[in-house]
């Protein structure tokens, strides 16, 4: 029992089981069909790739709201470079990824140099990048929507449906989960991230390069957001300035449902994956029930509140069952 409640993802696992059971009953065989699974897995894949680095930042005690602008900015970048100006698709992909990393680097640098909360910094970046994307798109392409026709290799790797239903992005999501999971659980960087989220001052005094780590986490967030943006442009053969805004809060909601505390220092990759799947099931499952789709927002809101309460409860139970607390009780 003690080892079970110490796991940060236990609450999100319970939530996933309950939500899946609910929509299995009310959604019927349509929800349980291959098309039903594809509908929420496709949503989970794109959201999950963004939620992973956002989750790492939250564990480290930071937030990144700029993902909502980086996604459309990277989509427009590859569309303008390789669609409007007909540059090789690899050049467009590189430009989009470099843009995302540049925004992440600026976010991290400003946060560590000014000590301004990351919420404020990335909120400013969100609007700044959105404005630049809109303005430069009109100047360079004369439109806020640009068509893109990727080559067969790029489409096969980044922008196609496998079996006619499942987006290839799902496999990229699985790869990202494995990489981030190894990083967080089996490397010193994972220990550094947890330490920084628990107490950044103590972590810095202990010799952890908190500034470099913070910048690298923001760069990773920008990179993953840019990847999702360019893959969407390749998938739908076009890019729009207004796309991607939903990722701002959806990624944070998925991470919180997954057991990551808003105060930092607590969370897991498994929990983030479960939270992402739970959010995607609610987001898409409502369409299979015959209920009014507007109820999805209510369910997500309630789910978020319950997740926050459960996260705090399981964290307190974890502290109660920790070896250190038992030693203290023995004394």
| Domain residue ranges of the chain, discontinuous segments joined by + | 2-323
HEC string of the chain? Answer: CHHHHCCCCHHHHHHHHHHHHHHHHHHHHHHHCHHHHHHHHHHHHHHHHHHHHHHHHHHCCCCCCCHHHHHHHHHHHHHHHHHHCCCCHHHHHHHHHHHHHHHHHHHHHHHHHHCCCHHHHHHHHHHHHHHHHHHHHHHHHCCCEEECCCCHHHHHHHCCEECCCEECHHHHHHHHHHHHHHHHHCCHHHHHHHHHHHCHHHHHHCCCCHHHHHHHHHHHHHHHHHHHHHHHHHHHCEEECCCCCCHHHHHHHHHHHCCCCCCCCCCCHHHHHHHHHHHHHHHHHHHHCCCCCCHHHHHHHHHHHHHHHHHHHHHHHHHHHCHHHHHHHHC
| Closest CA relative to residue 52, chosen from 203, 184, 244 | 184
Architecture of domain 2-323: Orthogonal Bundle (1.10)
| Closest CA relative to residue 134, chosen from 125, 144, 120 | 144
What pLDDT sits at residue 323? 46
What pLDDT sits at residue 5? 53
Give Cα 105 to chain centroid, integer Å. 18
The one-digit pLDDT tens for each residue of the chain (331 residues) are 445 555 667 778 888 888 898 889 888 888 999 999 999 999 999 999 999 999 999 999 999 999 999 999 999 999 999 999 999 999 999 999 999 999 999 999 999 999 999 999 999 999 999 999 999 999 999 888 899 888 888 888 998 888 888 999 999 999 999 999 999 999 999 999 999 998 888 999 999 999 999 999 999 999 999 999 999 999 999 998 887 788 888 999 899 888 888 888 888 999 999 999 999 998 888 888 877 777 777 877 887 777 777 766 666 665 565 444 344 334 3
* 190-223: pLDDT as tens digits: 999 999 998 888 999 999 999 999 999 999 999 9
What pLDDT sits at residue 40? 94
pTM over 0.95: no
* 245-304: pLDDT as tens digits: 888 889 998 998 888 888 888 889 999 999 999 999 988 888 888 777 777 778 778 877
């Amino acid at each position: 029992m003690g080892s079970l409640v110490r796991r940060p993802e236990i609450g999100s696992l319970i939530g996933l089981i309950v939500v899946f059971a609910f929509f299995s009953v009310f959604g019927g065989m349509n929800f349980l069909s291959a098309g039903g699974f594809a509908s929420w897995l496709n949503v989970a894949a794109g959201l999950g790739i963004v939620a992973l680095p956002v989750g790492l930042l939250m564990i480290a005690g930071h937030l990144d709201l700029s993902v909502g602008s980086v996604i459309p900015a990277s989509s427009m970048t590859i569309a303008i470079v390789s669609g409007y100006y007909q540059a090789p698709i690899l050049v467009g992909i590189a430009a989009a990824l470099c843009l995302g990393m540049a925004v992440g680097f600026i976010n991290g640098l400003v946060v560590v140099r000014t000590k301004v909360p990351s919420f404020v910094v990335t909120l400013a970046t969100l609007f700044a990048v959105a404005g630049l994307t809109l303005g430069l798109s009109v100047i360079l392409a004369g439109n806020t929507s640009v068509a893109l026709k990727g080559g067969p290799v790029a489409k096969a790797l980044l922008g196609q449906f496998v079996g006619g239903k499942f987006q290839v992005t799902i496999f990229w999501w699985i790869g990202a989960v494995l990489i981030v999971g190894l990083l967080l659980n089996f490397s010193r960087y994972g220990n550094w991230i947890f330490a920084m989220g628990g107490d950044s001052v103590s972590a810095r005094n202990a010799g952890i390069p908190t500034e470099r780590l913070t910048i690298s986490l923001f760069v990773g967030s920008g990179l993953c957001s840019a990847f999702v943006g360019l893959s969407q442009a390749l998938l739908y053969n076009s890019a729009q300035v207004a796309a991607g805004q939903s990722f701002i809060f959806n990624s944070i909601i998925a991470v919180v449902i997954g057991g990551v505390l808003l105060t930092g220092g607590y969370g897991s990759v498994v929990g983030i994956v479960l939270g992402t799947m739970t959010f995607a099931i609610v987001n898409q499952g409502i369409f299979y029930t015959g209920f009014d789709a507007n109820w999805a927002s209510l369910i997500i809101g309630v789910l978020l509140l319950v997740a926050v309460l459960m996260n705090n409860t399981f964290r307190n139970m974890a502290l109660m069952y920790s070896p250190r607390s038992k030693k203290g009780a023995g004394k």
